[in-house]
A and B are shown apart, each in its own frame.
Chain A
Amino acid sequence: MSIAQESIITKPTRRRIKRTPYLLILPGIGWLFLFFIFPLSTLFATSLQKPAGISPDDGFLPAFKVSNYSSALVEYYPQFFRGFLYSGIATVICLLLAYPIAYYMAFRARKYRNLMLVLIVAPFFASFLLRTNAWKTILSGDGIVVGFLNSFNLLPQDRILNTSLAVVAGLTYNFLPFMILPLYTSLEKIDPRLIEAAGDLYSPPSQRFWKVVWPLSIPGVISGTLLTFIPASGDYINAELLGSIKDKMIGNVIQSQFIDLRDYPTASALSFTFMAIILVMIYLYIRRAGTDDLV
């Protein structure tokens, strides 16, 4: 997602109102209203419903039960916090890992560039669940990774699986390509002569990076961090497969409230709160980073 995208718009050549753009957006906008905006409003309505009986099978009645929100928040604030904490840490690690390789591909890799791109994209085609599950094998107690780290006493719990470390590592692994690709796209657009020019104008390498490359790659950094942080914060697969019961994130709560407990009002209230927090965070983040164009 290159969020900061320069769109080239031709000046209107006819004065009368054009029908074409409206015909073009009609199916898509209709679809998104029907299956995105409308469901979100049903979700909101559901979040205020009250139970009709004792069991979820009795159904729920329309109401204006705002306390669904307060009680959900009081009960599940640790999972909210954990969700944002884990995904935040994973996002930062992804950025640290992705930037050098994206930089390498953009400026140094030359003939290996396409091969590297292919290797970064291809894992998408092997099931994401299966790949996450494979980490269980790699990180298992009798595997080499744990054995190696344990021989230096680097693991406080003597294991990785079923710890918060495993969850963060899993999130990092799963969303790393979503960080690399937008970063690469924005770095690749930078004319290498700009870096040379900066060097010519007496900038040492570190300044060349911070004063030239980094500012020009900001659109990629924004896209990458959003593409990593948003799905990671709502993820429950990694916590489920790699973490312990104490590592549950907000995604796990929403999933189990909806699917297992069928407490729809609570689940909806949690979803809505979560969505609101995400949107506020994105808004603040984009405002601070100074991009207006969203898609």
Chain B
Amino acid sequence: MFIIKLIREKTLQVFSVLIIVYLMLPLAVIILLSFNKPKGRQNTSWNEFSLDAWTNICRDQTICRAFSTSIQIGLLVTIISTIIGTMISFALIRHRYRGRGTTSLLVFLPLATPEVILGASLLALFLNIFIPLGFWTILLAQITFTISFVVVVVNARLAGMDPKLEQAAMDLYATPLQTFRYITFPIALPGILAAALLSFSLSFDDFIVTTFNSGRIVTFPIYIWGAALRGIPPQVNVIASLMFLGSLLLILVASLISKNRRATKV
């Protein structure tokens, strides 16, 4: 019995580790190849160690321009969709009103729409009403699909919040506005931040919707797509590695801070 139990426990553990390895494998390749000096244009197999790409990230201006475009779009999308989505979420979770079901259906539909169709339908609209494609059309398109993700994430946080907390605040002489400012908002904040992080990563990494509506604007994913045929320069790998390691560091620091905060107060 004990042996069987042990095997079962260990199998689960080994399997989980393997899945993590599977998820990490391409990242290892990306990081490894960022130190590569490719033989030809294609940076797909190991040739020679080099720090060239790391010391000279912006040698090809288009890479860094694409990267900064993506960052700009990402930040704008994050701000706008987080605000709009959070507002919807508050209405859905904190209020009962006529049309609540329709609201939630309308929020769900973009999630149920494959990206090609989202991109294509916006393209059809922009073409039909002669809006020139570019920075702003990318922004509009990305906000459209990130709103729903924001709503889902903030909903999860708000639904777990006891409505009695707000009632208690009102009972303790807080006006509705003060209740929002001092109770509801601070408690919902971690969910709102998570939603913002998610919408940034969705925007930054989006290719399909963006490529339909980009016109001549080159975002970071569009650059990679174009370069994939000619050969992706190792500088792209450097940027991706930095993004990955940076986000890893950010999350770890954040979790350490919150753990410390918890530890000092116990």
Contact = CB atoms under 8 A, between A and B. Distances in A.
A22 B208 CA distance: 33
A25 B127 CA distance: 28
Contacts of A176: 19, 22-23
Interface in B16-31: 16, 19-20, 22-27, 29-30
B228 A133 contact: yes
Chain B contact patch, size range? 35 or more
A123 B20 CA distance: 11
Interface stretch (A65-73, A148-156, A192-200, A271-279): A271-279
A233 B116 CA distance: 10
Contacts of B237: 130
B104 A35 contact: no
A24 interface: yes
B178 interface: no
B45 A140 contact: yes
Contacts of B205: 124-125, 127-128
Interface residues of A, number: 99
Interface string B46-77: 00000000000000000000000000000000
B127 A130 contact: no
Contacts of B25: 134, 138
Q: Is the interface of A mostly helix, strand, loop or mixed?
A: helix
A129 B112 contact: no
A100 interface: yes
Interface of B: 8-9, 12-13, 15-16, 19-20, 22-27, 29-30, 33, 44-45, 83-85, 87-88, 90-97, 99-100, 103-118, 120-125, 127-128, 140-141, 143-144, 147-149, 151-152, 155-156, 159, 161-163, 166-167, 201, 204-205, 207-208, 211-212, 220-221, 224-225, 228, 232, 236-237, 240-241, 243-244, 246-248, 251-252, 255
12 contacts: A8-B159, A8-B161, A9-B95, A10-B94, A27-B84, A29-B88, A32-B144, A125-B244, A125-B246, A134-B29, A134-B33, A279-B112
